[in-house]
Amino acid sequence: MATKIKLALIGCGGIAHAHWRGIQSHAPDIEVTACVDENEASANAFAEQTGGIPFTSLTEALATGDFDSVDLMLPHDLHEEAALQCFAAGKHVCLEKPMAHTLASAERILAAGEAHDKVFMVAEQAQYWPDVHKVAELIEAGAIGDVLTGHGFFFDPLRPDPANPKPWRYHLDRAGGGISIDGGAHWIRPLRIMLGEIDEVFAATQSHVEHMEGESLAHAIFRFRSGVIGTFQALTKAGRMGPIVDFRVTGTDGELIIERGRGGRLMLYDNEHPDGEVVMSDVVTGKMNSYGGELHDFSQAILHGTDLAAAPRFAMGEFRTAQAMYRSVESGTWARVWD
C-alpha cells in the first residue's frame, strides 16, 4: 500500500502558493511530483520550489507525468475541460471552488465526478475553519439559546496590479460572476455550517471597481431551512476599513462573534459574560492552516478511504446560492437556491 500520494499542481498562480504552504505544514502524506502551467516560467518556478517536474500542458503531464492525483487551480471557465480530462485519465481530483463558471458546467462536472471511481473533492477551505465549527458546537449546546439571526461579512482588500488591470477574474464569461461566487463562497459555507441549508435569497449587487465586470459589492438576505433569516455582505475595495466582524450569530440568550482584528477572536456574549468571553483566540491562524487541512483530508480519503469532510454535492450549496443571488438581482424578487 502506498504511504504517500503523488500530486500534480495544475495551475501555478496565486492560490497555488497557499496550497503548497499547506502541504508543507499540514499534509505530510502528499508528495508534489508535477507542476503544470501554460506559463513556462511559473511552472519552472514551482517545480524548483516543490521538486516536481514542470509541464506547460495538462495533456502532456497526464501522458508522461508520474502522479496519481491532481490539484486543479485554474480559472473557473477551464474547470470542466480539465476535470473531465483528469477523470478520464483515472486520477484522483481535488478541484478548487467554485466548481465551474456556469451552473450547467458545474452539474456536468458533478455528475462525472460522482460516476468516477476515484476520489473527487471540491476544495473549500472554510470547511476546515476551527472557529466556525466551534460556533456550530456552541449553538448546538444551547450557548446562546434559540438562534434568531446570523450575519456574514466578507471583505477582500483590493490590490490593483497596474501591469494587469483586468485579470481573468474581472471577466464575467471566465469567472461566472463577481465577489459572491468567488471569495464570498468562503463566507457562505460557514453560514451553512452554523445555520443550516439556505432555501432562498433576496439580493442586490453593485459594480464599482474599474474593469471588473462582475459585482464588487453584494447584499443578500438568506432564508434558511431552519426558519432563521440571516444576511450576507461581500465587498472589495481599496482604502482603509474599520474593525471587521466576519460572522455574528444572535440568539435569545446571547451572541457569538468572530472578529478579524487582533489575530481574530471568537467571542461569546451572554448574561454571565456581558463584556464578552474569549472562546478562541488567533482564529486567523486556523483559517490559514485550512489549506493544509483540506489537502490532508484529500490525501487521507485516497490512502485510507476515509470520508471527506464535505462531499462534492455539498459544495454546490455556495455555488447555487450565488447563482440564486444573481437571479434575484435580475428579477427583483426572492430566488430559490435548489430549484
pLDDT in tens, the chain (339 residues): 678 999 999 999 989 999 999 999 999 999 999 999 999 999 999 999 999 999 999 999 999 999 999 999 999 999 999 999 999 999 999 999 999 999 999 999 999 999 999 999 999 999 999 999 999 999 999 999 999 999 999 999 998 889 999 999 999 999 999 999 999 999 999 999 999 999 999 999 999 999 999 999 999 999 999 999 999 999 999 989 999 999 999 999 999 999 987 689 999 999 999 999 999 999 989 888 999 999 999 999 999 999 999 999 999 999 999 999 999 999 999 999 998
In Å, how far are 115, 165, 326 from 46, measured between CA atoms?
32, 24, 36
What is the pLDDT, as a whole number, of residue 1?
A: 65
Pairing of strands 147-157, 198-206: unpaired
Domains of the chain: 5-126 (3.40.50.720), 128-289+319-336 (3.30.360.10)
279-292: pLDDT as tens digits:
999 998 988 899 99
Closest of 197, 193, 200, 283 to residue 245, by C-alpha: 283
**Would you call 108 exposed, middle or buried from its count of C-beta atoms within 10 A (0-12, 13-18, 19+)?**
middle
Dig out the grid coordinates for 120 from the structure: 473527487
pLDDT value for 185: 97
Whole-number Å distance between alpha carbons of 108 and 125? 23
Backbone angles phi, psi at 39, to 5 degrees: -85, 110
C-alpha angle with apex 262: 260 to 264, nearest 5 degrees?
A: 40
8 A C-beta contact, residue 297 and residue 310 = no
List, as one string, the DSSP characters of 206-261. E--STT--S-SEEEEEEEETTS-EEEEEEEEESS-----EEEEEEESSEEEEEE-S
Q: Note the pLDDT of residue 339.
A: 81
Give the model's pLDDT for residue 33: 98
